Chains A and B, each alone.
Chain A
Amino acid sequence: MSDTTSKSEELFRLYEELSDASADLEPEDLAEQKSLDAIFAASQWQLMWRKFKRNKVAIAGGIVVLLFYLGALLAGFIAPYTLESRFVKYIHMPPQRVRFFNNGKLQPHVCSVDLTIDENLRKHYTPDCTERFPLQFFAHGEPYKLLGLIDTDVHLFQVPDGIVSLLGTDRQGRDMFSRILYGSQISLTIGLLGVLMSLLFGSVLGVISGYYGGWIDDLMQRLIELVRSFPAIPLWMALSAAVPPHWPPLRTYFAVTLILSLIGWTWLARQLRGKVLSLRHEDFVLAAKMTGATDAWIIFRHLIPATFSHIIVVSTLAMPSMILSETALSFLGLGLRPPITSWGVLLKEVQNIQSIALYPWVFTPALAIAILILAFNFLGDGLRDAADPYTV
């Protein structure tokens, strides 16, 4: 009974979706072909986009991810201070509240902060709203390089005579908001770079393995099995411990990325091998062979593009674990170290549980990580559903 109702529901949904999709068409298109031909003639990418668009959660995840990357790109501009700007007078200051109205006028501002030290030598910051510092937008502040190229000192907002700290300050009086933004530059790119590197190894080796089969496939599979027989985190720990501490920051950064992708590629290779195994006997591959195409041509012009949607999905889903692994390693003090500042490095500074209790805002990098990872997972899930546009 419930089975038939669910079937009819499904058909109804399908019908609705199809008519929805036709409603998306331009009026003139609609006039041209009132039938649903457009749907069946649509390219795979159009179908995927259509399906993805309907998944609101995935769209929201995508937007959050984009915002994070935008923030990383424009970190210098959005952050009011630089990574190492210190305010010795404001150590472990709690987040300030931005007040929007001043005497009924719209004027975003922060209040001045009074510091008292009690008998236990604990610092207490209390906002003192007799003195107000309006936020000045697009104001001059500390110099930085926009996008790493253009010398400038214009920041999104500044408080010239006081301090503005949206997320509080750390034990050296550095602004957490600015540090999280700068940290995102490292954390987000290491995910991207790590996935790209695993993609490079994984897609080439996986596709070759699936395409040729035979002893090449066997060898590749044994290699993958060998790499995967190690427990990931301990192996990462051991490899990161081998990165000499005196290496320059950039080299350490690349070394850690390489270490992370050392295991990541096996997963990608397996996924793509399976995909290629099923594509290998498709007619279009046979046709290409008949016309005398070389293997390299077939692999790079036919097989890899055919698995492209799959590659995108798999790499989106691989991003969170890449970012998390870097965070975990840096958190243990094995990955990146200052002066390179990633979210993991920021978290390492608060390893002490007591300091989380006293100054919870120093834990905000964890919040940033959690939000980003969640957004990435939603996005990846939506992409995965969309990548298979023929299922309803």
Chain B
Amino acid sequence: MLAYIGRRILGMIPTLFIVSVITFIIIQLPPGDFFTTRAIEAAMSGGGQDKETVKTMQERYGLDKPLYVQYWRWVSGFPRGDFGYSLEWNSPVLPIVLQRMGYTLQVGGLSLLFMVAVAIPIGIYSATHQYSFGDHALSLIGFLGLSLPGFLLALLWMFLGIIVLRIPVGGEISKGMADQPWNLAKILDYLNHLWPPAVILGLASTAQLQRIMRGNLLDVMGQQFITTARAKGLKEKKVVNKYGVRAAINPLISVMAMEIPKIISESTIVGIVMSVPTTGPLLLRALLTQDMYLAGTFLLFMTLLLMIANLLADIALAWADPRIVYT
């Protein structure tokens, strides 16, 4: 098992290398660079920067060098933990990215929890009450959740929160709380801002998981070992929970692993709409201002996060299902 994990981690390195090259090419694609973009912005608002200043700045930050030189400068810093310098924030990129990734992880993790806690019980209920009113109603709700994109739900939630419920929504924390030291009230307030984006992110995946759980359990309940269990005279509750659910839940791990990329990916856009500090708002800003190291590092770290999530899912699957042979 350890050897398998080690091999998988080693296998990630070449992929990460190619990903870093592609990322660098993509962030270099837009015409111009940070300084020309800023000069245009300044010119539009009436100010101006002469060509000399722009040129000096480009030289100082090495933006006039050929692409491969710039790429090498970026990549060679990685082992030292140097992922470049954000020109807009005047700070190294890494702390900014890590902070945002941390928040994304919190939101994503919470939405995974939400997914499991909601989807599995509903799936079990739907399967054991197939074609009942409850099953149909829950399936319909699931279908709606699957169809509505995260950013629409986020907009809807903001609308509901501000207009109908008149509670503060969006943001990381309430305005007055930001400067206070951490205490119970602040933690509660923080959590109060954390769950809406998590639920919104998890909704589509919950619907997916719930449908698959229902299908799996229905499949399993038709198998012979269930008939045997019933023939032995076990209580129906025990047949479902101890025999059915246990067998039906294994494939869910890989389904969940497939939902993680969606959550990470959607978290950008939901973050932008709800103005919560996921990677989204900063990535968007960095892309628009061509703050290339920041944008590139965001992309790189999110890709890394995806790979780690996939690896964890594979490990979890191997651990949960003894029939799986890992080589």
Shortest CB-to-CB span from A278 to chain B, Å, is 20
Chain B residues whose CB sits within 8 angstroms of the CB of A39 once the complex forms: none
Q: What band does the interface of chain B fall in when counting residues whose beta carbon is under 8 Å from A?
A: 35 or more
Q: Are A231 and B303 in contact (CB under 8 A)?
A: yes
Chain B residues whose CB sits within 8 angstroms of the CB of A353 once the complex forms: 155, 158-159, 162
Chain A residues whose CB sits within 8 angstroms of the CB of B26 once the complex forms: 235, 238-239, 242
Chain A residues whose CB sits within 8 angstroms of the CB of B298 once the complex forms: 234
Residue B18 lies at the interface, judged by CB distance under 8 Å to chain A:
yes
Q: Report the separation of the CA atoms of residues A322 and B273 in the bound assembly, to the nearest whole angstrom.
A: 20
Q: Which residue of B lies closest to A324 (CB)?
A: B149
Q: Are B143 and A332 in contact (CB under 8 A)?
A: no
Q: Report the separation of the CA atoms of residues A334 and B283 in the bound assembly, to the nearest whole angstrom.
A: 12
7 intermolecular pairs with C-beta atoms under 8 Å apart: A226-B15, A235-B299, A328-B149, A328-B151, A331-B151, A354-B162, A370-B152
Most chain-B Cβ atoms within 10 A of its Cβ — which of A3, A226, A229, A370? A229
With A3-B227, A226-B18, A232-B261 known as contacts, the answer to whether A377 contacts B283 (CB < 8 A) is: no
With A244-B31, A377-B143 known as contacts, the answer to whether A233 contacts B266 (CB < 8 A) is: yes
Chain A residues whose CB sits within 8 angstroms of the CB of B295 once the complex forms: 238
Q: Report the separation of the CA atoms of residues A328 and B158 in the bound assembly, to the nearest whole angstrom.
A: 17
Q: Are B264 and A373 in contact (CB under 8 A)?
A: no
A225-279 contacts to B (CB < 8 Å) = 225-226, 228-235, 237-239, 241-242, 244
Residue B306 lies at the interface, judged by CB distance under 8 Å to chain A:
yes
Q: Report the separation of the CA atoms of residues A301 and B214 in the bound assembly, to the nearest whole angstrom.
A: 39
Q: Report the separation of the CA atoms of residues A226 and B146 in the bound assembly, to the nearest whole angstrom.
A: 27
Chain B residues whose CB sits within 8 angstroms of the CB of A241 once the complex forms: 30, 287-288
Which of A226, A233, A324, A332 is the one whose CB lies under 8 Å from B265? A233
**Apart from A230-B306, A331-B269, A377-B143, what are 11 other A-B pairs with CB-CB below 8 Å?**
A232-B261, A232-B262, A234-B299, A234-B302, A238-B295, A238-B299, A327-B149, A353-B162, A356-B159, A369-B152, A373-B149
Q: Report the separation of the CA atoms of residues A232 and B261 in the bound assembly, to the nearest whole angstrom.
A: 8
Q: Are A357 and B162 in contact (CB under 8 A)?
A: yes
Binary contact track B11-43/A, C-beta < 8 Å → 1, others 0: 000010011001100110111000000000000
Residue B203 lies at the interface, judged by CB distance under 8 Å to chain A:
no
Residue A366 lies at the interface, judged by CB distance under 8 Å to chain B:
yes
Residue A374 lies at the interface, judged by CB distance under 8 Å to chain B:
yes
With A238-B299, A357-B159 known as contacts, the answer to whether A320 contacts B265 (CB < 8 A) is: no
Q: Report the separation of the CA atoms of residues A226 and B19 in the bound assembly, to the nearest whole angstrom.
A: 8
Q: Report the separation of the CA atoms of residues A289 and B147 in the bound assembly, to the nearest whole angstrom.
A: 44
Q: Are A244 and B148 in contact (CB under 8 A)?
A: no
Q: Report the separation of the CA atoms of residues A232 and B265 in the bound assembly, to the nearest whole angstrom.
A: 6
With A226-B18, A232-B265, A234-B298 known as contacts, the answer to whether A334 contacts B287 (CB < 8 A) is: yes
Chain A residues whose CB sits within 8 angstroms of the CB of B158 once the complex forms: 353
A372-387 contacts to B (CB < 8 Å) = 373-374, 377-378
